[in-house]
Amino acid sequence: MARPLHCRLARLVNDLLTFNKATLADSPLHLVQVSLNGLLEQALQANQGYASQYGVSFDWHPGQDLQMTVDPDKIMQVMSNLLSNAAKYSPQGGAVQIRSQQQGDKVRIEVEDSGPGIPLEFQDRVFEKFAQADSSNTRRVGGTGLGMAISKSLVELHGGSISFVSVPGKGTTFVFELPLLPVTPQDLN
């Protein structure tokens, strides 16, 4: 089902504005202490309707409920990007696996789909602006090609890292790690 042109243009403009804000060096973080499980539960609820459009469910494996200091709006954007991509690329009737766990002074969050995986020739460009694998499936599910670039910028703004493991034909797992303690500008230099 094709979305109207005005919806696609509005999403592109919104993604460009978000990307621009995320990449500004002086973009302030509005840090607050949050419950990790509460934040993940909120992200899952906010994205379940979107996943339902694709006949996909979320299967959350909550870890220890940690208190962490983050900008919740920015982490919600990361989760929304990862969850919506996982839902789009999962087969109908599939389930996206979400896991979290503490690893030392960091929290690790994983979003795993059972979709077609990322083509090997595209994997080195996943986090670039406007990057989209050129396949009939990508064209079917749409997108602006900014979600992963935005996610990378927002995670790095928190002093974290993001990566993925993908096997063509067997799905993709995106992983991002965030420090449990607040990040100061000195930490990022």
Q: What is the CATH number of the domain that holds 77?
A: 3.30.565.10
Give the domain range for residue 168. 5-23+31-188
- Please state the domain count of the chain: 1
pLDDT at 189 over 50: no
Distance between CA atoms of residues 39 and 171, nearest Å: 25
Task: Supply the pLDDT for residue 1.
Answer: 44
Mean pLDDT, range 3-23, rounded to an integer? 53
pLDDT for 122 beyond 80: yes
Give pLDDT, residue 180. 87
Percentage of residues in the chain having pLDDT higher than 70: 73
